[in-house]
Structure 1
Amino acid sequence: MTSDAGVQELIDGALHGSGLVLEEVVVTPAGRRRVVRVVVDRVLEATGDVTETQRPLTLDEIASATRTVSDALDESDLLGAQPYTLEVTSPGVSRPLTDAQHFRRNVGRLVVLSPVDGESVTGRITRAGSDDLTLHVPSVKKTPARDDTYPYAAIARADVQVEFSRPEDTDATDTPADDDPVDAPLDKEN
């Protein structure tokens, strides 16, 4: 039986130096095949507080990561002779933000944040540091707009909201839209 940890270690090593970081690997049976789902994201170079929106992954970067991961798996006998389908993707908006790096990569995005104590709040991440974040909450009814700071330890759940028109202009060269994960499936017969 294949160890997800072994596959993760192999893929992590293959991606080293590529500008991408391995977020997750899941190997699941699918009939006589297996599905190897690999989630990658851009290495976050910033240290300290992040206040600028990070550029999403492009289709070319996902395609390159797919080739790198496929080559590493082909060169190893870790998956054995059983055929598998390789899916390399970027994190989608359906993934809850659970780590400081997740918040840092989503500066500028609209989120619904549920504190451990208190009501859920919707706002835009304007700053994400190593221990906390700042959320700009727009005015609602008679409540004025405000900036709130939340320590990560005080957040029960945070989810990115899909926006079809974002307030800032986006560069036409940033494809695909960062609201959707990019899948590049590759069937492998071993």
Structure 2
Amino acid sequence: MSTTQSERLRELLEPLVTSQGLDLEEIAVDSVGRKRVLSVVVDSDSGPDMDQIADVSRALSAKLDETDAMGEGEYYLEVGTPGAERLLTEHRHFVRATGRLVKFQLSEGGDLVARILTVDDEGLELEVPGVKGRKATTRRLGFPEIAKARVQVEFNRKDMKDMKEEEEA
């Protein structure tokens, strides 16, 4: 059974990322002209800061320099975090998106835009925004019902504290 370069890189680099208190989310090797780019996406429950990104970047660079994992040619290493509209694929992604507005593509068809209130092992408790002056409602959504989920960008986003204060009022 052969392994791809990305799988070999994941095996090599994931322990380093984990030792920095981060999760290795993605690895991609792309060609840009004659250059190769190794993109590494990392994340954590609190979101990595710039110092953590710099530290893990130096550690990955040193490890790659002492191995031949990227071969002989020149390459660039890019280390970053998931984008604002990240795709949610792992349980931890849903936990980290608690309080965020998410667009769900449902397994049975159709879309749902709702805010994640809580996450457990079986699924999510959601707040579905009200339409045309109606109050928001809650809905339970099991993980098997979700075909795809992506965080939505909100410019006037309420934080969880504001939402709880509204509920108590």
Match for 1:8 among 10, 16, 22?
Answer: 10
Match for 2:123 among 123, 132, 141?
Answer: 132
1:62-100 CA-partner distances (Å, limit 9, x unpaired): 111111111111121211220001111111133321222
The one-letter code sitting in structure 2 at the alignment partner of 1:41 is D
Match for 2:37 among 35, 38, 51?
Answer: 35
Give the conservation status (yes or no) of the 8 Å contact 1:100–1:131. Answer: no
Give the conservation status (yes or no) of the 8 Å contact 1:96–1:160. Answer: yes
TM-score after normalising by structure 1:
0.75
> Which structure dedicates a bigger proportion of its chain to helix?
2
1: CA distance, partners of 2:125 / 2:109: 17
Aligned pairs, how many? 158
The equivalent residue for 1:79 is 70
Give the conservation status (yes or no) of the 8 Å contact 2:64–2:70. Answer: yes
Give the conservation status (yes or no) of the 8 Å contact 1:100–1:152. Answer: no
Q: Classify the secondary structure of the residue corresponding to 2:19.
A: coil
Per the TM alignment, residue 114 of structure 1 is displaced from its structure 2 partner at its CA by 2.2
What pairs up with 1:1-190 in 2 under 5 angstroms?
3-42=5-44, 54-117=45-108, 119-141=110-132, 143-168=134-159
Q: Classify the secondary structure of the residue corresponding to 2:27.
A: strand
The one-letter code sitting in structure 1 at the alignment partner of 2:135 is P
1: CA distance, partners of 2:150 / 2:17: 27
1: CA distance, partners of 2:110 / 2:20: 41
Per the TM alignment, residue 121 of structure 1 is displaced from its structure 2 partner at its CA by 2.0
1:121-159 CA-partner distances (Å, limit 9, x unpaired): 222111112220111112212643211111111012211
Percent identity (aligned): 39
2: CA distance, partners of 1:144 / 1:167: 16
TM-score after normalising by structure 2:
0.84
